Amino acid sequence: MASFIDDIIGKIFPNKKSPIKHRENFTQSHDAEEYTRQWLGSEEGKFLMDLVQKNYHFKTSGMNAAPEVHILNSPYANGFAVSYESPFDPKSFSQLFFAFGQRMLDLGYQKISLDRKIEEINDDVKTTEKQYFKPPMGSVDISKRIDQLYGNVSVEKVSVNEKPSFLKILVTVYSDHLYSKARPFEQFIEDIFEN
């Protein structure tokens, strides 16, 4: 009989704690944006961007180097991820995240969103900061196919328990007949790392 009562009480007053899930938009101040531009041109910024580019090319040749780069490949999405390892520190890793966003703006993209998602997974708290970019659509001539450049681009920084884990850049192409064929991903790699 006790199990029947416990079952009823359990249904009325569930004991389950639902995991935390929170999403918010945020902005980077004008001063922070300027700092990112300066950081990109600094010795540290150039060194870290060059290191990631070099390790990307190593990975495509079957070699690993620290910080490790992971290749992401599919028919409609390509990208890479960079592990948080030496010589990164939390500040430089955060700057790299915003620097890749700055490079997208330099390539003519529009920033659609900058958001942060915080979620509890088991006993860990995962924080994902994401910048999302689309090709410019302002002066689209509907009689012609839309130039999608490389496609849509997302730049993510993932932290677990407030410790950086990895950065991910993912390029997703439009397969719709309204859009021109996306430019090659290899060209995207060259352009995003161009000094």
Q: 169 φ, ψ to 5°?
A: -120, 125
Residue type, 85: E
Which pLDDT score is estimated for 190? 95
Q: 85 φ, ψ to 5°?
A: -145, 170
Which pLDDT score is estimated for 108? 92
Which pLDDT score is estimated for 76? 78
Which pLDDT score is estimated for 98? 98
16 Cα distance to chain centroid: 32
Which pLDDT score is estimated for 115? 96
Which pLDDT score is estimated for 113? 96
Which pLDDT score is estimated for 180? 85
Instruction: For 131-160, give one letter per residue: b (16+ CB within 10 A) or e.
Output: bbbbbeeeeeeeeeebbbbbbbbbbbbbbe
Which pLDDT score is estimated for 137? 76
Taking the C-alpha atoms of residue 144 and residue 180, their distance in angstroms, rounded to an integer, is: 9
> How high is the mean pLDDT in each 10-residue block of the chain (195 residues)?
64 67 91 96 96 96 94 90 97 97 95 95 93 83 81 97 97 86 93 87
Which pLDDT score is estimated for 145? 82
